[in-house]
Amino acid sequence: MRVLVVEDNAALAAQLRDALAAAHFAVDHAPDGEEALFLGETEPYDAVVLDLGLPRLDGLSVLRRWRAGGRAMPVLILTARDTWTEKVAGLDAGADDYLAKPFAMGELLARLRALVRRAHGQAQAEIVMGELRVDTATGGVSLRGAPVRLTALEFRLLAYLAHRPGQVVSKTELTEHLYAQDFDRDSNTLEVVIGRLRRKLDPALIETLRGQGYRLAAARA
C-alpha cells in the first residue's frame, strides 16, 4: 500500500514517514500544497494524510481540486484545532476522516488502515482467504494455522493482493502501489518478491495470468 503524507512541519512529517514505513506502507511526502496537488493528480495512492494548514496552497483547496478532478483515494485530514467548523469544512470538501493535532500515532495508523479497508469493501482488519490469514493491523500472516514471516515488501505485496480477492492485478499496478516515488523501480524485483512469497506460502496461492498479471487464490487445507 502506498500513502502520500502532506505535512509542512518537517519533524512531524519525519515521524509520520517512520511510523507508516514501520507499518508496511510505502510513503511519499509533499511539504506544500502545490506539490501535494501534483502528486495526488499523477500518482496512484491508496490513501493520503493531508494537513490543512499548508504553504503555497491550503489543504482544503488541494482536496477540492482532487475531488473535482475525479481523484477518489481515501483522505485523512489533519486539523490544527479540534473545532467542528474545520471538521465540517474538510468533510464537505471530500475528506473521509479527520484527526485533530496533537494525535496519537497509533490512532492515525488505525484510522488509515480502516479507510483503506473500506475502500476495498473489507470490514475486518484480518483478511481470510481459505486457510490464509492476513492481519492488516499487526502485519501478521498465517497459513493453515502456522505463522509465516515476511519482509515488509513481501507483506505489502500480499496485502495489496488480499485487498482485491479474485481480481487480476497487473505488474504495472503492483509496482506503482508497492514502491515510493524515489525508489528505483525494476519489474525484475517484483518477480523476485512474487517468487519468495510463493516459496514461503504455497506456489499455487499467487496465480500468474500471462499477459495480464497476478491473482491471489484462496488457500486450501
Backbone φ, ψ for residue 15 (5° rounding): -60, -40
Q: What angle do CA 176, 69, 166 make, to 5 degrees?
A: 45
The grid coordinates of residue 14 equal: 519525519
What was the pLDDT predicted at 187? 59
- Residues near 181 by Cβ (< 8 Å), separated by ≥ 6? 28, 39, 43
Is a pLDDT exceeding 70 seen at residue 37? yes
Q: How long, in residues, is the chain?
A: 221
What are the C-alpha distances in Å from 48 to residues 15, 44, 150, 158? Answer: 15, 10, 25, 21
Q: Report how many domains make up the chain.
A: 2
Q: How would DSSP label each residue in 104-169?
A: -HHHHHHHHHHHHHHHTT--SSEEEEBTEEEETTT--EEETTEE----HHHHHHHHHHHTSTT--B
Q: Residue 50: enclosing H or E segment and its boundaries?
A: strand 47-51
What was the pLDDT predicted at 19? 97
Q: Among 77, 101, 119, identify where a domain stops.
A: 119
Q: Are residues 103 and 15 in the same domain?
A: yes
Q: Is residue 12 part of a domain?
A: yes
Instruction: Report pLDDT digits (tens) over 82-123.
Output: 677 888 889 999 999 999 989 999 999 999 999 999 998 888
Q: Among 99, 119, 139, identify where a domain stops.
A: 119
Q: Are residues 71 and 108 in the same domain?
A: yes
The DSSP 8-state label assigned to residue 130 in this structure reads B
Does residue 55 have a cis bond before it (omega within 30 degrees)?
no
Is a pLDDT exceeding 90 seen at residue 158? yes
Q: Among 87, 119, 151, identify where a domain stops.
A: 119
Q: Which of 114-118, 159-163, 217-221 has the lowest mean pLDDT?
A: 217-221
Q: Are residues 113 and 133 in the same domain?
A: no
Q: Which three-class secondary structure state does DSSP give residue 133?
A: strand
Q: Across 25-39, 166-180, 186-200, which has the greatest mean pLDDT?
A: 25-39
Q: Are residues 64 and 135 in the same domain?
A: no
Q: Which domain holds residue 76?
A: 2-119
CATH of residue 44's domain is 3.40.50.2300
Distance CA 117, CA 110 (A): 11
Distance CA 93, CA 89 (A): 6
Give, to the nearest 10 degrees, the angle between helix 187-200 and helix 152-162.
Answer: 80
Q: Residue 137: enclosing H or E segment and its boundaries?
A: none
Distance CA 31, CA 104 (A): 21
Q: Is residue 221 part of a domain?
A: no
Instruction: Report pLDDT digits (tens) over 162-191.
Output: 999 889 999 999 988 988 876 666 657 888
